[in-house]
């Protein structure tokens, strides 16, 4: 019986760019080829002969939106742990190492249970018993520390990464989003075989070693990006205010969750979500499709498909009025304004792509021209979507304007100036030239996206993961071509309303020494 059926097709994407002023036209091609295995794995390949290198971009259909209470932080923490090696890479003795990890985990479970008991033992009022309990906990913590130190006996430190870098890898990294988790690396062109073996091994046999130190590393990452950065803090509160139900509301794992997550929870998460039917691979560079096909069959076809996990049923309820939040922090003023909008396949999504270009792409865009160059209210202004995948997000998302008021400018003034620009979009149709300008930029970027191997691999893999067909990037271009000024105006009027917006303001903490001399 044939175990693999495959579907291969060569799709040459033709993009006709028509130019408004000169009437000249050009064609642009992406010669992408597609491979699908029986277990659901999809690989999209663009051959670029002669460059000596290739980039890989793996998108796994899992992100922090898939976390549930009890495993908050699992997606990001697991992403870190998937750099720790496998049953055969990163260890001197996997069996002994596994035994040690089991001991660590059962001890952690006992410590965890004992900590939960602490408040009741304290309430009981027997000070001696309480002290004894606390002493026992700290003894067990010391014991856990020594079991963690024992791991050094078995761990071959960072061997997984070393195997890649010795073979010339660059840009070995990963990132965790809300809908997807991405794994990337670029290699010399002769390392395709190694790449397939390494990534199949990571999918099949990951070992979550050095678990407890890495749990702390993730907390340091939080302290770095969120806790001690004004914009990080502001953004976290902003997102938590804009979303009250949908899992997009958790910008980052909370310290209290992350510090207590269990290895078992990560293993379960991995088993459930990391599977070939939830994986898309983009490969772009100096490689041959026939080699990709042979290696994919050989190393990936035996990885079993997993049943679809529970869908995310939670729908963010309609916002009923403006929401505002202040964050006091030792940093300069900043302002975020967010408007709820749809998911990637919402009929209004193409209009948002164009409206965004009109508002904030380039020095001649409306917000920049008005607030930075004209009224000079802020030194910079930007827009983004949240979670913000280029192709749109799986669930209804947020359109965000961020501004940095200049010294002495009240952020309310900046806010008002922004609303004035949004009101113009809602009441006056954009000119044909302005619409064409946005289209020209979108088309130019479509071509520039193919400049780097990793950028193209990313785009192909992300579109495929989101829309389950990478050619959706062309559908999007067609939707944009069809947009009219009237359609843009009605989308602006529908979304840029007071009741649909959330406003977050960073209010600088006035330091004590700066107020001396006051009352």
Partner 1 sequence: MQSRFALRAITVGVIVILVFALVSESSAQDPRKIVAPELELSAPTPEQFALENGLRVVFLQSSELPVVRMTLMFPGGSVSEAADLAGVSGITANLLRTGGAGSLKAEEIDERLDFLGASISSTAGGDNHKLTLRCLKKDLAEVFDLFSLILREPVLDSAKLALEVSNKSDEIRRQYDSPTGATRTLFYRTVFGDMLYGRYPTLESVASISGQSVKFTYNRVYTPSRGILAVSGDLTRKELEDLLNTSVGSWKGTRILQRPIPVVPSEEDLPKSGVYYAYKDISQTSIRLGHLTQLFDSPDRHAVRIMNYVVGVGFAGRLTAKIRSEAGLAYSVGGYFVNRPTYGSYFAYCQTKAEATGQALQMIVDVLSEAKENGITQKEFARAKESILNSFVFEYETPHQVAQAVAESVFYGFPSEQTALDLEALKSVTLADCNRVAKEYYRVEDFRIVVVGDTAQMDQPLSDFGVVTEISLEVE
- Which residues in 379-408 contact partner 1 (CB under 8 A)? 379, 404, 406-407
Strand order in the sheet with 9-18: 9-18, 25-36, 42-47, 279-285, 53-60, 181-188, 170-176
Residue 244, Cβ density class (10 Å: 0-12 exposed, 13-18 middle, ≥19 buried): exposed
Contact between 450 and partner 1 (CB under 8 A)? yes
Q: List the interface residues with partner 1, window 297-316 (CB under 8 A).
A: 299
Cβ contact 362:381 at 8 Å? no
For partner 1, give the closer residue by CB, 38 or 161: 161
Contact between 176 and partner 1 (CB under 8 A)? no
Indicate which single residue of 118, 315, 412, 448 sits in contact with partner 1 (rule: CB under 8 A).
448
Q: How far apart are CA 14 and CA 32, in angstroms?
A: 11
Q: List the interface residues with partner 1, window 248-287 (CB under 8 A).
A: none
Question: What is the secondary structure of 112-157 as a DSSP string?
Answer: HHHHHHHHHHHHHT-HHHHHHHHHHHHHHHHHHHHHHHHGGGTB-T
Q: Which of 94, 71, 303, 273 is nearest to 199 (CA)?
A: 303
Q: How far apart are CA 499 and CA 501, in angstroms?
A: 6
What is the closest distance, in whole angstroms, from the C-beta atom of residue 27 to partner 1 in the complex? 9
Contact between 47 and partner 1 (CB under 8 A)? no
Contact between 162 and partner 1 (CB under 8 A)? yes
Contact between 451 and partner 1 (CB under 8 A)? yes
Contact between 411 and partner 1 (CB under 8 A)? no
Indicate which single residue of 158, 260, 301, 490 sits in contact with partner 1 (rule: CB under 8 A).
158
For partner 1, give the closer residue by CB, 37 or 372: 372
Q: List the interface residues with partner 1, window 313-342 (CB under 8 A).
A: 330-332
Site map 100..119 versus partner 1, x via CB under 8 A: --------------------
Indicate which single residue of 33, 66, 176, 191 sits in contact with partner 1 (rule: CB under 8 A).
191
Residue 114, Cβ density class (10 Å: 0-12 exposed, 13-18 middle, ≥19 buried): middle
Contact region with partner 1 (CB under 8 A), list: 195-203, 270-278, 336-344, 345-353? 195-203
Contact region with partner 1 (CB under 8 A), list: 103-111, 135-143, 257-265, 369-377? 369-377
Question: What is the secondary structure of 34-78 as a DSSP string?
Answer: EEE-TTS-EEEEEE-TTSSEEEEEEEES--GGG--TTSTTHHHHH
What is the closest distance, in whole angstroms, from the C-beta atom of residue 375 to partner 1 in the complex? 11
Contact between 48 and partner 1 (CB under 8 A)? yes
Site map 474..493 versus partner 1, x via CB under 8 A: --------------------
Q: Which of 398, 431, 407, 379 is nearest to 503 (CA)?
A: 398
Indicate which single residue of 2, 119, 166, 498 sits in contact with partner 1 (rule: CB under 8 A).
166
For partner 1, give the closer residue by CB, 22 or 256: 22
Site map 210..229 versus partner 1, x via CB under 8 A: x-xxxxxxxxxx-xx--xxx
Contact between 452 and partner 1 (CB under 8 A)? yes
Angle between helices 411-427 and 349-360 (to 10 degrees): 130
C-alpha angle 422/435/24, rounded to 5°? Answer: 165
3-class secondary structure, 386: strand
């Amino acid at each position: 019986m044939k175990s693999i059926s495959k579907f291969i097709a060569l799709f040459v994407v033709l993009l006709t760019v028509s130019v408004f002023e000169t009437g000249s036209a050009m064609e642009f091609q992406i010669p992408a080829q597609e491979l699908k295995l029986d277990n659901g794995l999809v690989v999209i390949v663009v051959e670029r002969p002669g460059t000596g290198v290739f980039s890989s971009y793996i998108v796994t259909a899992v992100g922090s939106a898939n976390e549930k209470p009890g495993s908050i932080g699992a997606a990001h923490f697991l992403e870190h742990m998937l750099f720790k090696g496998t049953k055969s890479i990163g260890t001197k003795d996997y069996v002994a190492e596994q035994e040690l990890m089991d001991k660590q985990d059962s001890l952690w479970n006992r410590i965890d249970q004992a900590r939960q008991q602490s408040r009741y033992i304290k309430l009981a009022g027997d000070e001696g018993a309480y002290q004894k309990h606390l002493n026992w906990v700290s003894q067990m913590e010391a014991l856990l520390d020594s079991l963690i130190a024992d791991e050094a006996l078995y761990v071959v430190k960072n061997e997984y990464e070393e195997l890649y870098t010795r073979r010339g890898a660059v840009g070995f990294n990963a990132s965790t989003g809300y809908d997807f988790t991405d794994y990337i690396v670029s290699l010399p062109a002769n390392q395709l075989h190694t790449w397939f073996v390494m990534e199949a091994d990571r999918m099949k046999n990951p070992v979550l070693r050095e678990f407890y130190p890495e749990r702390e590393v993730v907390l340091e990452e939080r302290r770095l990006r969120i806790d001690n950065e004004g914009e990080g803090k502001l953004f976290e509160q902003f997102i938590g205010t804009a979303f009250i139900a949908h899992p997009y509301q958790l910008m980052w794992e909370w310290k209290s969750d992350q510090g207590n997550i269990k290895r078992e929870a990560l293993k379960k998460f991995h088993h459930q979500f990391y599977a070939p039917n939830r994986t898309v691979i983009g490969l772009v560079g100096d490689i041959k499709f026939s080699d990709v096909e042979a290696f994919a069959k050989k190393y990936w076809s035996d990885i079993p498909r997993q049943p679809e996990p529970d869908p995310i049923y939670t729908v963010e309820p309609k916002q009923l009025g403006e929401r505002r939040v202040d964050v006091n922090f030792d940093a300069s003023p900043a302002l975020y304004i967010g408007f709820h909008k749809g998911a990637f396949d919402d009929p209004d999504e193409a209009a948002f792509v164009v409206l965004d270009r009109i508002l904030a792409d380039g020095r001649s865009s409306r917000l920049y021209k008005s607030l930075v160059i004209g009224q000079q209210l802020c030194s910079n202004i930007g827009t983004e979507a949240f979670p913000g995948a280029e192709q749109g997000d799986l669930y209804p998302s947020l359109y965000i304007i961020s501004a940095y008021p200049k010294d002495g400018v009240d952020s309310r003034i900046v806010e008002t100036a922004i609303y004035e620009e949004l009101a113009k979009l809602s009441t006056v149709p954009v000119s044909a030239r302005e619409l064409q300008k946005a289209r020209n930029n979108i088309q130019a970027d479509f071509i520039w996206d193919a400049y780097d191997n990793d950028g193209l691999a990313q785009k192909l893999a992300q579109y495929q993961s989101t829309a389950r067909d990478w050619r959706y990037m062309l559908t999007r271009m067609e939707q944009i071509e069809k947009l009219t000024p009237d359609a843009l105006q009605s989308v602006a009027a529908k979304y840029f309303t007071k009741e649909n917006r959330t406003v977050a303001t960073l209010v600088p903490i006035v330091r004590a020494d700066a107020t001396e001399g006051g009352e």
